[in-house]
A and B are shown apart, each in its own frame.
Chain A
Amino acid sequence: MIEALRARAGRLAVIGLPYLWLAIFFLLPFAIVLKISMSDPATAQPPYRPVLDIFGGVAHWRDFLLALDFENFETLWSDSLYVHAALSSLRIALVSTGLLLFVGYPIAYAMARAAPGLRPLFVAMVILPFWTSFLIRVYAWIGILKPEGLLNQLLLWLDIIAAPLAILNTPTAVYIGIVYAYLPFMILPLYASLERQDPTLIEAAQDLGAPAWKAFLTITVPLSMPGIVAGALLCFIPIVGEFVVPDLLGGSETLMIGRTLWSEFFSNRDWPLASAVAIVLLIIIVIPIVVYRELEAERWEAAR
């Protein structure tokens, strides 16, 4: 009896502790973000109105709920700056994900075709930069891309260009930075799915007369689709909300929604509007996740 009770208590602790923590520090904050996105900014402490007093009684709750509105979302919708930032984030994320796939696939493919003894070393070499500070890795590119930077010096020395190129503070720099920072996230899922592939399938195709490129396009690529989807999603979602790369490498014309949120919050101190931007960003990234889950469910059904 006591044994059973103790086992129950243990089970409760194992599930309950992390559950409670995430509910308080992850779920509850989103409810608050939603609430504040419907409030009005105020020059007070905290800088928004109304402020909820949970034990304020029925009348207080009614007044509180009546004071909430969608004004901030209307502002976002009517101001072309915010619409522009949202669309531009999506475009940058899509193009970057495409570039990442283009750069990452050959590397992942070569890793999967390497001798089995070498593969763990290659995997470790891909992961190691991920452990190095994101901020520092992005910062390293400033020294390379700026007008008197190392890339321009090299190109001038090789006589490829006559005058230094302006790369830093342009969209090109943002793309370079994003591809560099997110490459491990793309390579690893691709590698995982490519490594599991049976190489005899390719040999069979080639024995039957398919040229190498055709065997690659009709067998290797379709079979690696789960890895492609996983890698694309793993990169796309955080890139949409990316702040550090556009802030350090992009110019003032590179609008991204994460950067907009940051400046609304830190520079304009408009917390309700920043919260509304967060809600919009959340909706933008939830859509691909839902689509992915639907696709996965379909794949499971088809596999049965």
Chain B
Amino acid sequence: MKRRLSWVNATSLTLGFAFLYLPILLLVVYSFNASQLVTVWGGFSTRWYGALFRNEALLEAAWVTIRIAFLTALVATVLGTLAAIALVRNGRFAGRTLFTGLVYAPMVMPEVITGLALLLLFVSIGMDRGFWTVTLAHVTFTMCFVTVVVQSRLVAFDRSLEEAALDLGATPLSAFLTVTLPLIAPAVAAGFLLAFTLSLDDLVIASFTSGPGATTLPMRIYSQVRLGVTPEINAASTLLIGFVTAGVVAAALLTKRAA
């Protein structure tokens, strides 16, 4: 069998990856542009990064966003993992069809609908909009992604290990904590990271459910982007891309070592 890539396939891959990466690469390159004009190259400079660190509003938004993302990821990981266990381990139970639907629906639901629906809920129960409402909303739409990631690992998991622990007298809880959890840990960690980045990234749901004093970074970037491209936003984007890439690579290395 031929193992070498045919030239057609090699071309598709090259063009495909160029398309996926070139826009991001250009953004990164132009964040080091000395010129105020975004598309005219005026030499290498880090002045926009300096300006970024003096932009109080942007820093404030970044701090709010990170706190929301961390809390979201924590709660979503617990709930999402429980949901995955419920789906894989608990065969049939009353309302399983509805439960399955509820788990998958938030993933394909257009964000404008989820955002509006959650906002109307918070208004109906008279909850003040801000940090906490954004966090609750983010947990709801990210936990489903955790479930999918953990579920795929649980399905491939050798159940007899858990049964052996139970036969040897372990309680279901301690069997879960000492046998199952360490084995599915890479998937749980990946789920946590996914929930964290999704929350970090969200503009639409946060815009609906946020209130005064809880402007997130994407909301701040969006309001500046509407006024046009600025080198400062390029710098902020580059930092965000850098953080996420480092996180993903770290996660990949961790799971590789665990496997």
Listed in ascending order, the chain A residues whose CB lies under 8 Å from chain B are 3, 6-7, 10-11, 13-15, 17-19, 21-23, 25-30, 32-33, 36, 46, 52, 103, 106-107, 109-111, 113-115, 122, 124-126, 128-129, 131-137, 139-144, 146, 148-150, 153, 180, 183-184, 187, 199, 203, 234, 237-238, 240-244, 248, 258, 261-262, 265-266, 271, 274-275, 278, 281-282, 285, 289
Q: How far is the CB of B175 from chain A (nearest CB, A)?
A: 11
Q: For residue A128, which residues in chain B have a CB less than 8 angstroms away from its CB?
A: 245, 248
- Assuming the contacts A18-B82, A110-B9, asked whether A143 and B27 have C-beta atoms less than 8 A apart, the reply is yes
Q: Determine whether the beta carbon of B108 is less than 8 Å from that of A285.
A: yes
Which A-chain residue is minimally distant from B126 (CB atoms)?
A46
- Of all A-B residue pairs in the complex, the 10 with the closest CB atoms, nearest first, are A241-B110, A29-B117, A110-B9, A107-B16, A18-B83, A106-B12, A140-B23, A22-B102, A29-B121, A25-B140
> How far apart are the CA atoms of A243 and B10 in the complex, in Å?
34
Q: Determine whether the beta carbon of A244 is less than 8 Å from that of B233.
A: no
A-B interface contact total, Cβ < 8 Å: 229
> How far apart are the CA atoms of A33 and B245 in the complex, in Å?
38
Partner of B237, one of A30, A109, A133: A133
> How far apart are the CA atoms of A143 and B30 in the complex, in Å?
10
Q: For residue A46, which residues in chain B have a CB less than 8 angstroms away from its CB?
A: 123-124
B177-205 near A? 1/0 per residue, CB < 8 Å: 00000000000000000000100110110
Listed in ascending order, the chain B residues whose CB lies under 8 Å from chain A are 1, 3, 5-6, 8-10, 12-13, 16-17, 19-21, 23-24, 26-27, 30, 38-39, 79-80, 82-83, 85-86, 89-90, 93, 95, 99, 102-103, 105-106, 108-114, 116-118, 120-121, 123-124, 136-137, 139-140, 143, 147, 171-173, 197, 200-201, 203-204, 207-208, 218, 221-222, 225-226, 228-229, 233-234, 237, 240-241, 244-245, 248, 252
Q: How far is the CB of B77 from chain A (nearest CB, A)?
A: 12
Which A-chain residue is minimally distant from B6 (CB atoms)?
A113
Q: Determine whether the beta carbon of B203 is less than 8 Å from that of A126.
A: no
Partner of A32, one of B5, B106, B117, B171: B117
Q: Determine whether the beta carbon of A15 is less than 8 Å from that of B172.
A: no
Q: For residue B19, which residues in chain A have a CB less than 8 angstroms away from its CB?
A: 103, 180, 183
Q: Determine whether the beta carbon of A248 is less than 8 Å from that of B112.
A: no
Q: Determine whether the beta carbon of B24 is less than 8 Å from that of A113.
A: no
Q: Determine whether the beta carbon of B116 is less than 8 Å from that of A7.
A: no
Q: Determine whether the beta carbon of A32 is less than 8 Å from that of B201.
A: no
- Assuming the contacts A6-B171, A21-B79, A243-B112, asked whether A133 and B218 have C-beta atoms less than 8 A apart, the reply is yes
Q: For residue B1, which residues in chain A have a CB less than 8 angstroms away from its CB?
A: 199, 203
Q: Determine whether the beta carbon of A132 is less than 8 Å from that of B241.
A: yes
**B interface majority secondary structure:** helix
Q: How far is the CB of A234 from chain B (nearest CB, A)?
A: 7
> How far apart are the CA atoms of A153 and B37 in the complex, in Å?
14
Q: For residue A261, which residues in chain B have a CB less than 8 angstroms away from its CB?
A: 112-113, 116
> How far apart are the CA atoms of A137 and B225 in the complex, in Å?
12
Partner of A25, one of B8, B103, B137, B229: B137
Partner of B203, one of A135, A137, A153: A135
Q: Determine whether the beta carbon of B241 is less than 8 Å from that of A139.
A: no
Q: For residue B173, which residues in chain A have a CB less than 8 angstroms away from its CB?
A: 10
> How far apart are the CA atoms of A252 and B173 in the complex, in Å?
57
> How far apart are the CA atoms of A248 and B218 in the complex, in Å?
13
- Assuming the contacts A110-B12, A134-B201, A248-B225, asked whether A26 and B116 have C-beta atoms less than 8 A apart, the reply is no
Q: Determine whether the beta carbon of A258 is less than 8 Å from that of B112.
A: yes
Show 18 residue pairs from A and B whose CB-CB distance is below 8 angstroms, ordered by the A residue: A18-B103, A19-B102, A26-B102, A26-B106, A29-B120, A32-B121, A33-B116, A129-B20, A131-B248, A141-B23, A148-B39, A180-B20, A238-B110, A243-B110, A243-B111, A261-B112, A261-B113, A274-B116
